[in-house]
Copies of this chain bind each other. A is one copy, B any other.
Amino acid sequence: DLKSRFAEAGIGLSIPDGQDAVAPEELLQAMRLTLDYSTSTGHPLFFNQLYGGPEPAGIAGEWLAVAANTNCHTFEVAPVFTLVETEVLAKLARLIGGPYSQDHDGLFVPGGSIANIYGMHLARNRADPAFKQRGAQGGPRLVAFTSEQAHYSYRKAVALTGLGTDNLISVACDADGAMSPASLQEAIKAAEQEGKTPFFVGATAGTTVTGAFDPLEPLSKICREHNVWLHVDGAWGGAALLSRKLRHLMAGCERADSMCWNPHKLLGMPLQCSVFLTQHADILRRTNAGGAAYLFQPDKLHAEYDLGDKTIQCGRRPDAFKLWLAWKAYGDAGFERWVDRADELAQACEIRIKESGGALQLVQRRAPFNVCFWWVPAQLRPYTPEQATPAAKDLLSKVAPAIKELMQQKGDAMIGFQPLGSAPNFFRIVFAGAKLLQDCDLDALLQRINAYGQQLFPAQQ
């Protein structure tokens, strides 16, 4: 195991009492081992997560920021990083368009989950202006809505912010996994009839598992009718904004009150790089200000540029810088090409699955960046989900874990799997770090899945 490998190399993983300083050569050896035994997220066939190998310009930007070691709370300690953050946010606001090109507010935050918390928190304070001071008790009975396919960070958000998971209402999705506007309309009305106050809809642009885009135009209309804050979790799919071909998927996003996007996912920035944006100018400071006198002295130089009091943090890394540098390095066209290439690869994958004669089967329509499929053992073909027996489902649920384990052991590839609703474990290929992948790589991958499947689940005679 890992512990003994490190110990054999003379660097124990544990830090014993009285740890001695070790020599530089041993440190280098420890670093080498760390890289050797780390999962190669930069492998072209790493499809396990919504991120992959980082882009060189992103690494360069991050390395510089690490060495400069400063902090985007005040302009005086981070003048360039502060301006860069402001410029990147302005660029993204222009990309979104609509009211965002006039006015916006935003921040880079440590992850999409925390960006979703920001959205819900701003919404809460708008719906209940006394919230910050009074707290939740004694306020209106607020309820939030997300789709049943939304990211689990919304659940964490309601648990953290004292709304409670009981007050997060799950809205039904269509067959592709997109939130159904009719179901949202109904759910909001039902809540209102129960005397509750709907205040927040958390839509998703690019769901984590199936890659579906909630229909933002109709959702924004419903939200406006009911005076509800619309937040768009575009952590994954927000990248579609960069592509002329795909940005229609985000249509209506400019009407959302707030949104998030993770350039550390499809854009290959080193973790973490997450943006929160809202169309409401100056709302972050009004909501989050703590006004610490030791940090935000009005009588120091350039205090007006300080970003720090907008946040729920104090220290904050300059995560905008790597994206800024990469944007300069690859340009708008470069980013667009990456996004389009992810979609092309997903399409190529879809075609191969459809042409596999039943060995591979789509779980549902493929999304721009996600393809969900089963490898189906011969005795279950053709696999028809609606007619599958419990025994068939049980067998199918064992396939993806077993093939994944074998691929991991051989170091071939890494593809995530999960069950969803009534669908037993299936593979999910996500095209995050796969820009340089060729179609022939896809062929090889799918052939290998097929070969391993046949080996692990041989056709019964």
Contacts and interface: CB of A to CB of B under 8 A. Distances in A.
Nearest to A143: B135
B60 A31 contact: yes
A250 to B, nearest CB: 17
Contacts of A68: 34-35, 38, 41
A135 B110 contact: no
Given A135-B164, A328-B30, A301 B405 contact: yes
27 contacts: A13-B87, A17-B94, A18-B332, A19-B332, A21-B330, A21-B331, A21-B334, A31-B60, A62-B66, A70-B271, A71-B271, A110-B111, A111-B314, A112-B314, A117-B160, A117-B312, A133-B164, A133-B166, A134-B164, A135-B158, A152-B314, A153-B313, A159-B290, A160-B160, A294-B428, A297-B401, A300-B417
A340 to B, nearest CB: 16
A26 to B, nearest CB: 8
B313 A34 contact: no
B34 A294 contact: no
B54 A67 contact: yes
A137 interface: yes
A131 interface: yes
A334 B19 CA distance: 10
Contacts of A76: 39, 48, 408, 414
Contact of A70 (B39, B62, B112, B333): B39
A161 interface: yes
Interface string A160-172: 1111111100000
B79 A2 contact: yes
Contacts of A64: 31, 34-35
Nearest to A420: B293
Nearest to A128: B162
Number of copies: 2
A99 interface: no
Contacts of A297: 401, 417-418, 425
Interface in A274-328: 287-288, 290-295, 297, 299-301, 312-317, 321, 324-325, 327-328
B333 A21 contact: yes
A151 interface: yes
A66 B114 CA distance: 20
A59 B2 CA distance: 24
Nearest to A16: B91
